[in-house]
Structure 1
Amino acid sequence: MTVPIIIDFEASGFGKGSYPIEVGFSGRHGEGWCALIRPQDDWHHWDHEAARIHHIPREILVERGKSAVYVAEQLNFLLKGYTVYTDGWGQDYVWMARLFDAANMVPRFKLADLREIITEQQKSNWHVTKENVLKELGIARHRASSDARVLQLTWLRTYDAGRQLDS
């Protein structure tokens, strides 16, 4: 079994005009990586409800965020050649594309839908297992790298539970 790399994007909101504000992933050995993304000059959309959920004020992004070029370079360096999975493929693909377009680069990794590697058996335990992982980790903030780690641990535990049932 190969542990999937899980990636997550946080964004300025949903819908047209939204852009990535944070990206994080949990690697094959559980190592985490994340970066705040400084908004481009033409990235204006800001949803106050989304900001309330992820607790990242726009001012912090402007002050502490990394450039799109830096973040795209780091993602390509760390994830080159891998398939990385997301539970929000439709949104995350758009936000990844906006990031890489702003950096004038192309991703050197493949973004795939996490549902591609979740079995029917895993689906039956997914939500309960995810809630247990959230409680165990005590995660209070909705942030990219912690969300990715929760998904990865949920995948691992439901995978292991399915294997035990098969034994």
Structure 2
Amino acid sequence: MNLICLDLEASGLGPHSYPIEVAWKSTADESDTFLINPDTVPGWTFWDDFAEELHSLCRTELRQKGVSAESACNRLNEALQGCEVLSDAWEFDSFWLKRLFTAAGQKMAFRLVGLRELLSPEEMIQYQFITKAQLRRHRAMSDVDHILQAVHSVRFDE
């Protein structure tokens, strides 16, 4: 079974926050990660200093290295078209993906699903136990790696 996991980092957690980093990876070892330049979307100005502490991304880096919202959507749709993509924080990630695709005037060509669609209630408890024990820096690709490792431990290790 080829699992694809996606994670986003954002400018904060509030209703005016927006995605600033996206990463996805499959168990078939395909992946992509990129920053998003918030200056490419009018109104994307909200910034939470606490969120910056968690992911260590600053607005200057996003402006210098980030792609446009349109380019971000194109990359995601091209790579993930028709796929079910796993998120460990569906509520947040779906909110930020919706903001991203709305800003770019595009529709998602893939479906984001939460862990609860893949894992049983018992497996969810095991997953939460494993992830709480992981000390991790919040960057999208390292989060994706940790999520895939935890799902694999819960679902496929004997």
User: TM-score by structure 2 length?
Assistant: 0.90
Shift in Å at residue 128 of structure 1? 4.2
Take 1:69 and 1:123, find their aligned partners in 2: how far apart are those partners?
Answer: 35
CA contact (8 A) 2:116 2:124 kept: no
CA contact (8 A) 2:17 2:47 kept: yes
Superposition RMSD in Å: 1.7
Count of residue pairs brought into register by the alignment:
156
Take 2:102 and 2:125, find their aligned partners in 1: how far apart are those partners?
Answer: 38
Q: Which residue of 2 aligns with 1:24?
A: 23
Take 1:104 and 1:96, find their aligned partners in 2: how far apart are those partners?
Answer: 12
CA contact (8 A) 1:26 1:148 kept: yes
Gaps of 5+ in 1: none
Shift in Å at residue 130 of structure 1? 3.2
CA contact (8 A) 1:3 1:156 kept: no
How big is each residue's C-alpha offset from its partner over 1:80-135, in whole Å with a ceiling of 9 and x where there is no partner? 00000111111111100111111111010001111211123423422443366x46
Take 1:15 and 1:106, find their aligned partners in 2: how far apart are those partners?
Answer: 23
Return the index of the structure with the highest Cα Rg: 1
Take 1:71 and 1:101, find their aligned partners in 2: how far apart are those partners?
Answer: 12
User: Secondary structure of 1:101's match?
Assistant: helix
How big is each residue's C-alpha offset from its partner over 1:129-158, in whole Å with a ceiling of 9 and x where there is no partner? 3366x46xxxx5311111111111110111
Gaps of 5+ in 2: none
Take 1:124 and 1:75, find their aligned partners in 2: how far apart are those partners?
Answer: 30
Please show how residues 5-44 of structure 1 align to structure 2 within 5 Å. 5-39=4-38, 40-44=41-45
User: TM-score by structure 1 length?
Assistant: 0.86
Q: Could you tell me which amino acid in structure 1 is paired with residue 148 of structure 2?
A: Q
User: Secondary structure of 2:156's match?
Assistant: helix
Shift in Å at residue 27 of structure 1? 1.2
